[in-house]
């Protein structure tokens, strides 16, 4: 069964594709917008923008450290640089350049990491960004967004361009279910409640939101009515929504396509422990690197499934 | 079995090169993903390394501390490595057909944790030469006469870290380090001359203190000669600028598709049949 099918969603565009469309469409409205690519624009989808505005699309070659600092310089010259690569090459390879050329000087650079998570599949672990959220969140002043579907990816693209200051937008490779229509309200730092519920809460982002929706269906068939929150912004996190979930539903499970440490799970746990401690559970890649394989097979093998979320909810509820 | 560098006749090696090409096509088409064109440009050099008397190896004991090492820094070309290792007896050709399948150790990029005989986990471009510098320093420290060969892509040369490694290798006069730049003229988003033109490599690297050769890397004879010369240089690191064609061996088939880079795409079954027939 396809992701989202259980909960009745249709398959939609990949978040990277939605980003690419949205970015190209913003070029006239934001004349300062430029892209900086490291020889992967046809994968990250900055290519449509660069083809439409050739003089505003820079491809510095396979050189991510240079790419990021060049973006820092462009921001210093008043531009709004969107610098995109695979999440792993951007965050992991150019981490100090992000620190010193973007975060520390608080430059208005828009970092975009695609091919996040293990759902990239066959290319394997060297190409999977699974530490990126932890790395991005570790730096002061960087807003970190992980949209779940095409509509919110488009809205996140506009939001990041309008936002003053550094941002990191995390995007996926595969097509994902279409969760929202254009009327959805997307604001940096404000979560979306996909489904109301009072027995437990699943907080998820990215691809895992659709899988959480499927889990909610499994649970509702068993009489458990869970809330599903799309926490598309990991930083600054929507504290209010986390605290309400803890108070009103009594337990929280966090689902994300990321390593166990330092991602959305850690961010939610910090709020919960500070404001209203309740039992929590986690569904994520764990503390290991994955492997090559087909995307669905990998999600299954590494436990990123609706069934795993559902069983985790039950286990946490029983604590 | 002990460490041994296999040396076939040139005719036998030409036949091997054809076999490697066929395995590359079969593997990536079966996987329905991967980088055949990037693998094909490197076939003559890799054939020369594994079957031209260069890599002293023991497939029965892949971790033999006295072995020579081959680091495939352009890790996306790993099908050429799996093909050569299969022909060298590390595993069967049939096993490599599980490329990129869940559970298979034949991952999309080299992963040393899952496959004895792989010398470096690569796939994030730019790191292999530095790893090779470290291996060469370590081997020399232990008084071993093993060589370290590292293959780098011409697009990959854009990574600053490669140039840091070039400087470090020269500083330590690593005569046991041999870099091969697979200059196939293309990278992911286009021709290297358009994306980031770093040519001429030899003229840039020589002043660091490296021995340099520039060859037609799809000519097996030239590849063998260059590897021998490089191996004989013992007082400085050596680079072979291997001018190749991406997709060499099946170029007419790629021409038909209108995409001579054909980066990161497997051939369809139909194109694969044509390619295999062309290789002969
Ligand atoms: C650090 C890093 N950045 C980007 C990529 C994505 N990528 C994979 S292959 C490739 C092009 C490689 O070109 P080249 O080195 O010339 O190798 P070729 O495929 O031509 O043999 C790119 C950009 C990567 N694997 N690693
Ligand atoms: Mg190349």
Q: Active-site residue A162, yes or no? A: no
Note the pTM of the prediction, 2 decimals: 0.96
Q: What average pLDDT does this structure show over B147-174?
A: 98
| Per-residue pLDDT reduced to its tens digit, B185-240 | 999 999 999 999 999 999 999 999 999 999 999 999 999 999 999 999 999 999 99
Please indicate, yes or no, if residue A184 is contained in any of the structural domains.
Answer: no
Residue A117 Ramachandran class (φ > 0 left, ψ -120 to 50 alpha, else beta): left
**Alpha carbon of B33: minimum distance to chain A alpha carbons (Å):** 7
Q: Which residues of A touch B108 (CB under 8 A)?
A: 122-124, 126-127, 292
Residues A229 and A150 in one domain: no
Q: Tell me the pairing of strands A33-37 and A57-59.
A: parallel
- The pLDDT score that the predictor gives to residue A226 is 98
- Residue B254 vs residues B80, B258, B272: alpha-carbon distances, Å: 18, 7, 10
- When pLDDT is averaged across residues A212-239 and rounded to a whole number, the result is 98
A223 and A145 part of one domain: no
The percent of chain A in helix, strand and coil, each rounded to the nearest 5, is 40, 20, 40
| Per-residue pLDDT tens over the stretch A82-114 | 999 999 999 999 999 999 999 999 999 999 999
Say if residue A196 is in the same domain as residue A171.
Answer: no
| Same domain, residue pair A201 and A124 | no
pLDDT band (50, 70, 90) for residue B1: low
Average model confidence (pLDDT) across chain B? 98
Q: Are residues A220 and A157 in the same domain?
A: no
Residue of B44, B73, B121, B155 best suited for mutating to test ligand 1, as the one with most atoms within 8 Å of CB: B155
ipTM of the complex: 0.93
Q: Is it the case that residue A268 has pLDDT exceeding 80?
A: yes
Domain final residue pick, A154, A177, A200: A177
What stretch of H or E contains A112? strand A110-114
The reply to whether B161 falls in a domain is: yes
Residue B53 lies in a domain: yes
A137 with A36, same domain: the answer is yes
The stretch A213-229 carries a mean pLDDT of 98
Joined tokens for residue B59: 């497939």
Residue of A nearest to B189 (CA): A39
Q: Do A219 and A281 share a domain, yes or no?
A: yes
Token code pair at residue A13: 């565009």
Catalytic residue among A64, A131, A256, A257: A64
**Mean pLDDT of the region B146-155:** 98
Confidence of residue A1 (pLDDT cuts 50, 70, 90): confident
Mean per-residue pLDDT of chain A: 98
Instruction: Specify if A276 maps to a domain.
Output: yes
Beta-carbon contacts of A221 under 8 Å, excluding residues fewer than 6 positions away, are: none
Q: Confidence band (pLDDT; 50, 70, 90) for B15? A: very high
Domain check: are A40 and A147 in the same one?
Answer: yes
Q: Are residues A157 and A259 in the same domain?
A: no
Residue A1 lies in a domain: no
Domains in chain B, number: 1
Asked whether residue B255 is domain-assigned, the answer is yes
CB B40 within 8 A of CB B257: no
Mean pLDDT of the A62-86 span: 98
Same-domain status, A202 and A93: no
pLDDT in tens, B46-57: 999 999 999 999
- Residue A39 belongs to domain spanning: 11-177
Same domain as A273, residue A221: yes
Mean pLDDT confidence for B151-179? 98
B116 lies in some domain: yes
Sign (positive/negative) of CA torsion A238, A240, A241, A242? positive
Task: Give the model confidence (pLDDT) of A26-42 as tens digits.
Answer: 999 999 999 999 999 99
Q: Could you tell me if residue A187 is inside a domain?
A: no
* Angstrom distance (rounded) from CA B173 to CA A199: 67
pLDDT at B174 over 80: yes
B204 CA from centroid of ligand 1 (Å)? 21
Mean pLDDT, residues B117-123 taken together: 97
Residue B39 is part of which domain span? Answer: 10-279
CATH of the domain at A244: 3.40.50.920
Q: Residue A44: is its pLDDT beyond 70?
A: yes
Q: State which ligand 1 atom lies nearest to the alpha carbon of A43.
A: 6
Task: Tell me the C-alpha distance between B252 and B255, whole Å.
Answer: 5
> To the nearest whole angstrom, how far is the Cα of A162 from the nearest Cα of chain B?
29
Domain membership flag for residue B2 = no
- Has residue B3 been placed in a domain? no
Q: Do A125 and B111 touch (CB under 8 A)?
A: yes
- Please give the tally of structural domains in chain A: 2
Closest CA to A191 of A267, A270, A111, A82: A267
Last residue of a domain, one of A136, A151, A177: A177
Which CATH number do you get for residue A27? Answer: 3.40.50.970
Q: Are residues A277 and A211 in the same domain?
A: yes
Q: Which CATH number do you get for residue B186?
A: 3.40.50.970
């Amino acid at each position: 069964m396809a992701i989202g099918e259980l909960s009745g969603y249709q398959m939609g565009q990949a978040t990277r594709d939605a980003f690419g469309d949205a970015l190209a469409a913003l070029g006239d409205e934001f004349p300062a917008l430029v892209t900086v690519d490291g020889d992967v624009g046809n994968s990250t989808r900055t290519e449509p923008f660069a083809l439409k505005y050739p003089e505003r699309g820079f491809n510095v070659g396979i050189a991510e450290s240079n790419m990021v600092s060049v973006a820092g310089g462009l921001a210093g010259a008043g531009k709004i640089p969107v610098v995109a690569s695979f999440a792993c090459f951007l965050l992991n390879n150019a981490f100090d350049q992000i620190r010193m050329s973007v975060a520390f000087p608080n430059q208005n650079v828009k970092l975009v990491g695609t091919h996040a998570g293990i759902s990239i599949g066959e290319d394997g672990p060297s190409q999977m960004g699974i530490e990126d959220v932890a790395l991005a969140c570790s730096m002061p002043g960087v807003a970190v967004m992980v949209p779940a579907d095409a509509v919110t990816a488009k809205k996140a693209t506009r939001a990041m361009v309008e936002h003053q200051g550094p941002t990191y937008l995390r995007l996926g490779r595969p097509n994902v279910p279409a969760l929202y229509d254009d009327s959805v309200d997307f604001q940096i730092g404000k979560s979306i409640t996909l489904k109301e519920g009072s027995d437990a809460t699943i907080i998820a982002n990215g691809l895992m939101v659709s899988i959480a929706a499927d889990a909610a269906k499994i649970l509702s068939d068993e009489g458990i009515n869970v809330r599903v929150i799309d926490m598309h912004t990991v930083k600054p996190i929507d504290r209010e929504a986390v605290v309400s979930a803890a108070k009103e539903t009594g337990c929280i499970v966090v689902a994300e396509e990321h390593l166990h440490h330092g991602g959305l799970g850690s961010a939610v746990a910090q709020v919960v422990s500070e404001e209203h401690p309740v039992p929590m559970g986690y569904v994520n890649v764990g503390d290991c690197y994955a492997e090559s394989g087909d995307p669905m097979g990998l999600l299954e093998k590494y436990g990123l499934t609706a069934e795993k979320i559902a069983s985790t909810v039950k286990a946490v509820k029983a604590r | 079995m002990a460490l041994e560098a296999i040396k076939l006749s040139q005719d036998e090696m030409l036949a091997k090169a054809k076999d490697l090409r066929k395995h590359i096509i079969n593997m990536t088409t079966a996987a329905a993903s991967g980088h055949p064109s990037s693998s094909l440009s490197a076939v003559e050099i890799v054939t020369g390394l594994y079957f031209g008397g260069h890599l002293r190896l023991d497939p029965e004991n892949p971790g033999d501390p006295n072995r020579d090492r081959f680091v495939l820094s352009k890790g996306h070309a790993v099908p050429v490595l799996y093909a050569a290792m299969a022909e060298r007896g590390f595993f069967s050709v049939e096993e490599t057909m599980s490329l990129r399948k869940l559970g298979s150790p034949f991952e999309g990029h080299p992963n040393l944790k899952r496959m004895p005989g792989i010398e470096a986990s690569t796939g994030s471009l730019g790191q292999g030469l530095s790893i090779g510098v470290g291996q060469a320093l370590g081997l020399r420290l232990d008084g071993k006469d093993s060589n370290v060969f590292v293959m780098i892509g011409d697009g990959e040369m854009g990574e600053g870290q490669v140039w840091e490694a070039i400087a470090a290798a020269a500083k330590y006069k690593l005569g046991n380090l041999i870099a091969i730049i697979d200059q196939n003229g293309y990278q992911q988003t286009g021709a290297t001359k358009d994306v980031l033109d770093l040519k001429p490599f030899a003229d840039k690297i020589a002043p660091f203190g490296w021995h340099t050769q520039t060859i037609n890397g799809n000519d097996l004879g030239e590849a063998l000669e260059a590897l021998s010369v490089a191996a004989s240089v013992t007082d400085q690191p050596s680079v072979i600028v291997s001018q190749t064609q991406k997709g060499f061996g099946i170029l007419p088939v790629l021409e038909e598709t209108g995409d001579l880079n054909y980066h990161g795409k497997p051939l369809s079954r139909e194109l694969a049949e044509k390619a295999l027939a062309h290789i002969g």
